[in-house]
């Protein structure tokens, strides 16, 4: 036991340096006024009250709306793909899952720039439309381009958890449902879907949290016109320099994420 404690000590130190200490600093900045030294600990709620202004509330609403749409599309497209992959032999499944995860090996910034080249006014799609004698379509800096970038970047985070649940499923339950006279739709609804709900909930949680907090995709594909909560935090730290307000927003987002995760876990327990 002592040997294991010695092995885990470096990880505890790194966790404290990279996670615990930054969180403490964020909390201190969030509850202090701009211009005051952190060590004075002059607590204030002004940063949180400022967040309740209509402009910032609209940013949160739009962020959550785009997150819900992205999560729904990832579930709608990812579940059938995960189900199809789970029907193949195990070796083939490993290869197909590898193909799903390969795009994640490339930096998100590079993947987003690739979509900019595809969706631009003189991009690949509009060049093909021009060859076919059709008018070019304005796709950049729209809801379509932002949602497309979010879905394509975060789709693997939906597919993999669902595939894990489906691949671990006891196939004899499906055969028993057919033997008892259940139709394919009834079998899917009462057996396959029910058993895959843990993976679905994990996928929904990961995709939603990533899409709500991201700032690279809306900034590039939205052309700076989309101010989501991730972009708001980035601007407060980098452009405006108001670390206090940026820390307050980060803390609020962290609390929202924790509440969302607890609700998803509660739903998972109820399903079990």
Render pLDDT for 114-171 as a digit per residue (tens, 0 to 9): 888 888 888 888 888 888 888 888 888 888 889 999 999 999 999 999 999 898 887 8
| Segments forming the whole domain that contains residue 93 | 51-271
Asked if the structure places residue 118 within a domain, the reply is yes
Asked if the structure places residue 93 within a domain, the reply is yes
Single out the residue of 49, 48, 50, 44 nearest to residue 31, CA to CA: 44
Asked if the structure places residue 24 within a domain, the reply is no
Single out the residue of 268, 255, 267, 159 nearest to residue 206, CA to CA: 159
Confidence of residue 270 (pLDDT cuts 50, 70, 90): low
Q: Structurally, how many domains does the chain consist of?
A: 1
Tokens for 56? 């910032």
CATH code for the domain in which residue 127 is found: 1.10.3720.10
Q: Enumerate helices (H) and strands (E) in the chain, giving the number of each.
A: 15, 0
Q: Is the pTM of this model over 0.85?
A: no
Confidence of residue 36 (pLDDT cuts 50, 70, 90): very low
Note whether 236 and 243 are within 8 A (CB): yes
Asked if the structure places residue 164 within a domain, the reply is yes
- How many whole angstroms separate alpha carbon 49 and alpha carbon 54? 11
Asked if the structure places residue 128 within a domain, the reply is yes
Asked if the structure places residue 234 within a domain, the reply is yes
Asked if the structure places residue 211 within a domain, the reply is yes
- As a whole number, the mean pLDDT across the chain is 83
The gap between the terminal CA atoms of the chain, to the nearest Å, is 34
Asked if the structure places residue 46 within a domain, the reply is no
């Amino acid at each position: 036991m002592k040997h294991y404690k010695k092995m885990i000590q470096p990880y505890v130190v790194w966790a404290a340096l990279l996670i615990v200490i930054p969180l403490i600093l964020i909390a201190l900045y969030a509850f202090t006024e701009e211009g005051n030294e952190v060590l004075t600990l002059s607590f204030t709620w002004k940063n949180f009250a400022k967040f309740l202004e209509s402009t910032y509330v609209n940013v949160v609403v739009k962020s959550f709306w785009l997150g819900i749409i992205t999560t729904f599309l990832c579930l709608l497209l990812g579940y059938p793909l995960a189900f199809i992959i789970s029907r193949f032999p195990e070796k083939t499944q490993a290869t197909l899952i590898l193909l799903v995860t390969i795009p994640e090996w490339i930096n998100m910034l590079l993947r987003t720039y690739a979509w900019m080249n595809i969706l631009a006014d003189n991009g690949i799609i509009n060049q093909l439309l021009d060859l076919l004698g059709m008018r070019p379509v304005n796709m950049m800096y729209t809801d379509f381009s932002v949602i497309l970038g979010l879905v394509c970047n975060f789709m693997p985070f939906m597919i993999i958890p669902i595939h894990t649940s489906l691949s671990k499923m006891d196939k004899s339950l499906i055969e028993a449902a057919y033997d008892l006279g259940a139709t394919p739709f009834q079998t899917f609804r009462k057996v396959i879907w029910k058993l895959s709900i843990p993976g679905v909930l994990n996928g929904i949680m990961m995709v939603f949290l990533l899409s709500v907090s991201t700032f690279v995709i809306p900034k590039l594909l939205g052309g700076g016109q989309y101010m989501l909560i991730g972009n708001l935090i980035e601007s407060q730290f980098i452009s405006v320099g108001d670390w206090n307000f940026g820390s307050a927003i980060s803390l609020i987002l962290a609390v929202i994420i924790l509440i969302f995760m607890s609700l998803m876990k509660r739903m998972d327990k109820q399903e079990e």
